[in-house]
Amino acid sequence: MALLTIKNLTVSFDTSTGPFMAVKGIDLAIEKREVLAIVGESGSGKSVAMLAVMGLLPNTATVTADVMEFEGINLLTQTPSQRREIIGRDIAMIFQEPIASLNPCFSVGFQLMETLRQHTSLSASERETRAVELLTLVGIPDPKARLNAYPHQMSGGQCQRVMIAIAISCNPKLLIADEPTTALDVTIQKQILDLLMRLQAEHGMGLIMITHDMGVVAETADRVIVQYKGQKMEEADVLTLFENPASNYTRALLSALPENAVGDRLPTVADFMAKQNAEAMQ
C-alpha cells in the first residue's frame, strides 16, 4: 500500500480579484522507502500542495481532493486535533529557511524536546537523552552543551541540522523537505543532502524533496514529478527524466542548466515555450 496517496488535489486562494487556483488537479503517490522529488519554478504550487497535506495553509485556502490518504487514513475528513496526532509524528516537514523556522526565543534543546513531549510518553530525563542522541545523529559536535544554545549562536547549516533532528525525532514514516538546501552553500548543501539520504535509508522513511534545483534532483531522487503553473507536466523515474524527458517543459528546464549550455547564450524556458507555441499554431 502506498504511504501517501493524493488524487486530483486542487488548492485555491480567495483574493480580492476572485479565487486563484494555485494547484490544479495533482495526482501523487509515494511508497515506503521511496524518494520522490517535486520540481518546479517558484509559483508552480509545489510547496502549496505539500502544505495542504500538512494542513498548514491559511484560512483563505480551499483544499479539495478526490482522495488524500496517509496509510489508509483519510486526511480530508479529519478534525484539526486528529490531524495534529499525525503531523509531527508520522509526517514531518523541513522548511527552506532554517534560521527563520526555529524560534529565536527558545534554546534548540527546548524546541527539540517540545516535539517529544507532544508526541511521546517519554519522561523529562528520557527526552533529554533522546535529544542528545538526535543531535549526535545529525552530526552536531558536543551535543549535550548545544542543547542550551540558541538559534542565533549556530550557523545556517547547523540550524538546518537541528530542524532535521526535530523532524525525525518521532521516527516519521514520511518526511517532506521543502527546499532544504536552497539557502546554503554548496559544501554545506552536500553535507545536508548526504545526511538526509543516510537517515532516509537507515530509517526506511518515505522522503518528498521539493526543489527547483535539477542538480539536487539528480543527486537524491528515485522518481520525479515536474510541476508547472499548478499542473503536473511529467512524472518519471529519475534516469528516464534526465535521459529522455517526455514533456517540452522538462526539456526546457534541463536546457537552461548552465552546464548544458551550448554556445554563448543559455536557452531560457520562456523562449522555449514561445517556440513550442508558435510551432503548435502552424
Partner 1 sequence: MSEIVLETRNVTRDYHAGGGLFSKAKTIRALKGIDLTLEKGKTLAIVGESGCGKSTLARILTLIDAPTSGELLIDGQKVDIAKDGLTRDMRQKVQIIFQNPYGSLNPRQKIGDVLGEPLLLNTKLSANERRDRAMQMLVKVGLGPEHYNRYPHMLSGGQRQRIAIARALMLNPSLLVLDEPVSALDLSVQAQILNLLKDLQDEFNLTYVFISHDLSVVKYFADDVMVMYFGEVVEYGSRETVFANPQHSYTKTLFAATPNASVDAIKARLARKRAAA
CB of 186 to partner 1, least distance (A): 5
Q: Facing residues of 266 across strands?
A: none
Cα 189–chain centre separation: 15
Neighbour tally for 246: CB within 10 Å: 14
Tell me, residue by residue from 169 to 198, as one string, x for binding to partner 1 by CB under 8 A and - for no binding.
Answer: ----------------xxxxxx--x-----
In 67-146, which ranges are E strands?
67-70, 73-74, 91-94
Segment 226 to 245, residues that bind partner 1, using CB under 8 A: 238-239, 242-243
Segment 12 to 41, residues that bind partner 1, using CB under 8 A: 41
CB of 70 to partner 1, least distance (A): 24
Grid cell 529565536 is found at 104
- Whole-Å CA distances, 259 to 103, 239, 240, 264, 269: 38, 18, 19, 12, 15
Q: Quote the CA–CA distance of 260 and 255 in Å, as a whole number.
A: 6
- Phi, psi angle pair for 75, to nearest 5°: -75, -20
| Nearer to partner 1 among residue 89 and residue 223 (C-beta) | 223
Binding flag, residue 279, partner 1 (CB under 8 A): no
| Nearer to partner 1 among residue 117 and residue 198 (C-beta) | 198
Q: Quote the CA–CA distance of 57 and 215 in Å, as a whole number.
A: 29
Question: Contact with partner 1 (CB under 8 A): which of 77, 81, 264, 281?
Answer: 264
| Nearer to partner 1 among residue 41 and residue 126 (C-beta) | 41
Reduced to 3 states (helix: H, G, I; strand: E, B; else coil), residue 188 is: helix
Binding flag, residue 214, partner 1 (CB under 8 A): yes
- Interface stretch with partner 1, choices 81-89, 109-117, 171-179, 265-273 (CB under 8 A): 265-273
Residues forming the site for partner 1 (CB under 8 A) = 41-42, 156, 185-190, 193, 201, 212-219, 238-239, 242-243, 252-254, 256-261, 264-270
